[in-house]
Amino acid sequence: MQVQTIATSAFTDQKPGTSGLRKRVPVFQQAHYLENFVQSIFDTIAAPAGATLVVGGDGRYYNREAIQIILKMAAANGFGRVLVGQGGILSTPAASCVIRKYQTFGGIILSASHNPGGPEGDFGIKYNGNNGGPATETVTEAIFARSKQIDTYRIIEAADVALDTLGESQLGGMTVSIIDSVADYAELMESLFDFDAIQAMLAGGFRIKFDAMHAVTGPYAREILVNRLGAPADSVMNAVPLPDFGNGHPDPNLTYAHELVEIVYGDNAPDFGAASDGDGDRNMILGKGFFVTPSDSLALLAANATLAPGYRQGLAGIARSMPTSAAADRVAEALGIPCYETPTGWKFFGNLMDAGKVTLCGEESFGTGSNHVREKDGLWAVLFWLNVVAARKQSVEAIVREHWAKFGRNVYSRHDYEGLPTDAANGIMVLLKAGFATLSGKQFGSYTVKLADDFSYTDPVDGSVSTGQGVRILFEDGSRIVFRLSGTGTEGATLRIYLESFEPDVGKHHLDAQDALAELIGIALQLTELRQRTGREAPTVIT
Ligand code: G1P
Ligand code: ZN
């Protein structure tokens, strides 16, 4: 085996964000850019010689090239075996599943999630540890620190590995196993949910539509929904993964999944609609002409969890990210179990799940999951919902309305302002923080500020502290406005404004969220001086 040690110089911009290192494809294509980051991972994790690694990605442009580089570097760095998804494809939750099932040292996932792909689109890379979850902040900080010092990396000279044929081959002294991750993942789903009940419901004429958005979930959805559960083949749309996602924006929300939205709000609509994102960890749930907010979805799954065989024993606890609505907190209270509030990003849930403190967790950003893996999981959420609907024999809308009648409704919306000049966005955050001292007790229309702060979190398991996790304006009546800058974008800055109020009155549950939140939206614009500072009249995306 010819191990080469290549001289390189450090890049200064390899700081992982909310979910790994994300940059535009041309940035990753620069000489040594990917190699430097991969070597920084290997240097940081210090795997013992002969360790096993998992590698795969969401199939976006540059996936295959990156995998060949990573395999040759893994061989040069002493790994004994690498498990690779067939065709280089692994959805993020399937990668987590495979790391856990085969008890590997860790895994490298190549994805920029819901960001568009293609030669001018985005690419990304992140490291997951042996629990199957994203590396903790301590590890990602160490990788970043290493990336600023690195001066050599190790790679072997060898022919490319064939990624499409299942089976084993040798690369230097290392074994490469091309695996069928769809089978591993489908088996896990079958162990959690009542496939017989779902199959019977589908056979009885219940119609579903799942939009894979030309991204990674196509093969997984086909195998599970069509082959195993018997849904008609056209129940899965945009099922073939494409390197540029068919020029789409593979983000399952009302704006970007409009093709599906038109179907479920149209004539002859199916009973159930769902979509997943680029790497398969996000989900959007729709009933006939009805949208379930992700915050409500988490609360509803928690309230109905014991209907699914995998959760029949009940839940240890629930966790939600800070900007996610408090709907789940109400369910946790009723169940007498703890509810944890963490910073944005899945990496904060891992410790809680490993310590057995929580079973379900979720984020307002269309992410829901459980301790079956250590990533959020799009298809898992879809199957959970189908299990609940099959058991309750009610429509999605009826289930949600009953839930609101029992627990009250946490009216919720997020307004994103994308592609802002970085200075303007930072200026708004500085302005908000400057107001902390004087905001408390201040009256805005019918709302009085109770507390204004910058969210920080102390991990209850390892004691680590994460500061600067988002500005919160909490009002006396429990309403909230939260402001954060995105940590996943690659161009300019994205300001996210999260709005929430609580409505106990069933007579007002039919109101449109934007109308019900109008006064809070006005307060948010006033506090940020958003129009004056950015010239923007409206958000880019409303979810
Ligand atoms: C966004 C979401 C966050 C999610 C992350 C990865 O991060 O807001 O909840 O965990 O994508 O899917 P952000 O861009 O807000 O930093
Ligand atoms: Zn994703």
pLDDT (tens digit per residue) in 287-314 = 999 999 999 999 999 999 999 999 999 9
Q: Is the CB of 365 under 6 A from ligand 1?
A: yes
- Ligand 1 lined by 113 (C-beta under 6 Å): yes
Q: Are 16 and 487 in contact (CB under 8 A)?
A: no
In this predicted structure, the answer to whether residue 360 has a pLDDT above a threshold of 90 is yes
Alpha helices, DSSP H only, in 435-534? Answer: 436-439, 513-516, 518-528, 530-534
| Ligand 1 pocket, mutate which of 92, 415, 488, 541 (most atoms under 8 A from CB) | 488
Q: Whose CA is nearest to atom 15 of ligand 1?
A: 486
Q: How far is the CA of 386 from the centre of ligand 1 (A)?
A: 26
Residue 489 has pLDDT above 80, yes or no: no
Nearest CA to ligand 1 atom 10: 345
Q: Give 46 Cα–ligand 2 centroid separation in angstroms.
A: 27
Predicted confidence at residue 487, as pLDDT, reads 87
Domains 3-181 and 185-407 share a fold: yes
Locate 448 and state its tokens: 């009085």
Tokens of 299: 């609360």
Q: Are 20 and 127 in contact (CB under 8 A)?
A: yes
CA–CA separation, 360 vs 348, rounded Å? 13
Mean pLDDT, rounded, of the chain: 96
- Backbone torsions φ then ψ of 387, nearest 5 degrees: -65, -45
| 455 pLDDT higher than 80 | yes
Q: Provide the pLDDT for residue 474.
A: 96
pLDDT at 277 > cutoff 90: yes
Atom 4 (ligand 1) nearest CA: 345
Cα 207 to Cα 191: distance, rounded to the nearest angstrom: 23
Q: Ligand 1 test: best mutation among 18, 58, 349, 413, most atoms within 8 Å of CB? A: 18
What pLDDT sits at residue 448?
Answer: 95
pLDDT at 288: 97
Is the confidence at residue 226, as pLDDT, over 90?
Answer: yes
Tens digit of each residue's pLDDT (9 = 90 or more) over 235-275: 999 999 999 999 989 999 998 999 999 999 999 999 999 99
| Residue 301 near residue 409 (C-beta atoms within 8 A) | no
Tally of residues, the chain: 543
Q: Does domain 3-181 have CATH number 3.40.120.10?
A: yes
Residue 490 scores a pLDDT above 80: no
SS3 153: strand
End-to-end CA distance of the chain: 52
- In angstroms, the CA 261 to CA 269 distance is 10
Mean pLDDT, residues 343-351: 92
Class of domain 409-542: alpha beta
Domain spanning 185-407, CATH class:
alpha beta
Query: For residue 17, which atom of ligand 1 is closest to its CA?
Result: 16
Q: Is pLDDT larger for residue 137 or for residue 157?
A: 157
Question: Which of 58, 276, 344, 346 for a ligand 1 pocket mutation test, highest count of atoms within 8 Å of Cβ?
Answer: 344
pLDDT tens-place string over residues 475-486: 999 899 999 999
Q: What is the pLDDT of residue 278?
A: 95
What is the residue with the minimal CA distance to atom 5 of ligand 1?
345
- pLDDT tens digits, 383-421: 999 999 999 999 999 999 999 999 999 999 999 999 999
59: left (phi over 0), alpha (psi -120 to 50) or beta: left
Q: Is the CB of 416 under 6 A from ligand 1?
A: no
- What separation in Å is there between the alpha carbon of 488 and the centre of ligand 1? 6
Residue closest via CA to ligand 1's atom 1 equals 488
List CB-based neighbours of ion ligand 2 within 5 Å.
Answer: 113, 277, 279, 281-282
> What number does the ligand 1 atom closest to the CA of 365 have?
9
Q: In the chain, pLDDT over 90 holds for what percent of residues?
A: 96
What spacing in Å lies between the alpha carbon of 464 and ligand 1's midpoint? Answer: 20
Residues assigned a catalytic role:
113
Domain locations in the chain?
Answer: 3-181, 185-407, 409-542
Q: How far is the C-alpha of 361 from the C-alpha of 363, rounded, in Å? A: 7
pLDDT at 442 over 90: yes
Confidence of residue 2 (pLDDT cuts 50, 70, 90): confident
Give 447 Cα–ligand 2 centroid separation in angstroms. 36
pLDDT greater than 80 at residue 78:
yes
Residue 181: CB within 6 Å of ligand 1? no
Kindly give the distance from the C-alpha atom of residue 345 to the centroid of ligand 1, in angstroms, as a whole number: 6
Quote the tokens at residue 295.
């915050």
pLDDT of residue 520: 97
